[in-house]
Structure 1
């Protein structure tokens, strides 16, 4: 579990299934104090019922929020976060929620192109709502496997009409939407894209000739926490004298947490530095985006990093 003093307790007051794999949750502060406003593209970090920390985009305009609304996709290869939300986050349950953050905020532009893929629609929906309210010029391209799996599709059709272009590929790569016509010529507009990695990789590759800052991405998985060739290894916890085995499909943080040892964490994606731990021995496989070169012999980010060979000794 986390020890973040900025987190506040929020109760789940609403829950509805948007698709067979995506569920929407409505959260209300238990202390009755006003919620912090947020801009479109913002997200919150939530301590899920499993104890895993996960980031979810906020739905809504965020100007004077009475609730926070998130949509959670149950990932097929969930390591506990999304699956525990779907299985255990029932109405009435209280969870810890950190204040909104926004690394995907709208910039001033004469025109906008919003691109959503799958669950990536949540920040895009919020952006489109704000742009529509402000009378801005924008278009949306919403790609999904099928209409049944497209969250908020009916609401967006009503709200945005002809501005919304919908494309379903039935899971067939040969039927993927062709974005080239939108990027062949540099246009005086800003692009915002959120979706699965293949979609964002494609947009990145075909927009390389655009000026820097014009094409923007939201990606909650900047570090691949678990890889297909990972193997199990042991971690010795020096303070307690215990040894914990880290399975091939889990992080050090997850294994240590499940062993009953409390640890501090936040992003759990190698980007924030909250889980920084002193390294006392072993050959680490650093996978974070935080540590400086001169720190890598003495510290390790236990949310993403592993052992190259043998095991590790940590100051825990």
Structure 2
């Protein structure tokens, strides 16, 4: 079970802040004493704890071999909950922030060939993957779309890769031609995609006939907004605590267990960060996160209690 505690939150300092595209800034974070930061792998993200107490998750997009610096790309979200606006408007060089992690729910697995698809700020977790694939000598290509060229971050960093990177702003090329880029289903290829939900839904449709586990996506939000399969209350037994609680419609498992005095650390409350992962001992969870792959969901041995619910009348959790 993956849980974040206060001991996992480091106090870092904003070393550099730069505007790199319309609505996108990068932050470079360093330890206050200049010390070494925790290692990370391509696909990792951190929990950024802002001075306001708000916590948001951002992918690491810098040099994983630089032990003293984390880099994040932050898109201003006009319809967001205030975290990105604070980063853009208030956070400044020299300010202190808390950082939890890194954690990796989107790991790059070994493969002789990769196809990367990025939509907008979804380029951030894919940048380190491109560098890793290049380092390993794997074949790879990247399809990168956005509303317009000036809103697409990190283009100068991608230029040295030449025609292996296809930059396709929507105002110049229309919607991404996923079928042409991905080609026919074949073995020995891993597809990694990150971006807005319509793009990832389209990739999953196009790749429906690809070999199992060929496609891995990272979503900005989970499935928590959809209507649950089970709309009636269910019971959750907390095995280690020796208590049970009824979870009514409209209440998350996370909030229900907190109501009986059992605290589960959480961060995003959207099923995207992995902080509240909890082991399932019995029952059938309804997975509503954006983290688990299909075979992991089929195992039904864990769930993210901030958004996931129950298909059965009773769940037993290792809490």
> Is the 1:28–1:68 Cα contact (8 Å) retained in structure 2?
yes
Q: What do residues 82-137 of structure 1 show as CA deviations (whole Å, max 9, x unaligned)?
A: 11111221111100001211111111111111111100001111111122222221
Deviations 1:201-233 (A, max 9, x none): 100111011111111111231145699xxxxxx
> RMSD of aligned C-alpha atoms?
3.5
Please name the residue that 2:101 is paired with.
Answer: 99
Please tell me whether the aligned partners of residues 221 and 271 of structure 2 are also in contact (alpha carbons under 8 angstroms).
no
Task: Give the superposition deviation at 1:287.
Answer: 9.3
Match of 1:124 in 2: 126
Equivalent of 1:42 in 41, 44, 55: 44
Secondary structure in structure 2 of the residue aligned to 1:60: coil
Note if 1:217 corresponds to 2:217. Answer: yes
Report the TM-score, using the length of structure 2 for normalisation: 0.71
What runs of 5+ residues in structure 1 fail to find an aligned partner?
Answer: 228-250, 254-262, 277-285, 294-299, 306-316
8 A contact 2:9–2:100 mirrored in 1: yes
Partner in structure 2 of residue 200 of structure 1: 200
1:92-171 paired onto structure 2 within 5 Å: 92-157=94-159, 159-170=160-171
Residue 231 of structure 1: aligned partner: none
Identify the residue that residue 312 of structure 1 maps to in structure 2: none
Shift of residue 49, structure 1, vs aligned partner: 3.6
Tell me how many residue pairs correspond in the alignment.
Answer: 258
The aligned counterpart of 1:65 is 67
Contact persistence 2:43–2:107 (CA under 8 A): yes
Identify unmatched segments of 5+ residues in structure 2: 228-251, 255-263, 279-285, 293-299, 309-319
**What corresponds to 2:191 in structure 1?**
191
Distance 1:226 1:111, change over 3 A: closer
| 1:275, distance to aligned residue in structure 2 (A) | 11
> Match for residue 177 of structure 1?
176
Q: More displaced, 186-195 or 2-11?
A: 2-11
Shift of 1:78: 1.2
CA displacement at 1:30 relative to structure 2: 1.8
Query: TM-score, structure 1 length as denominator?
Result: 0.71
CA distance in 1, matches of 2:28, 2:129: 19
Are the equivalent residues in 2 in contact too, given 1:4–1:264 (CA < 8 A)? no
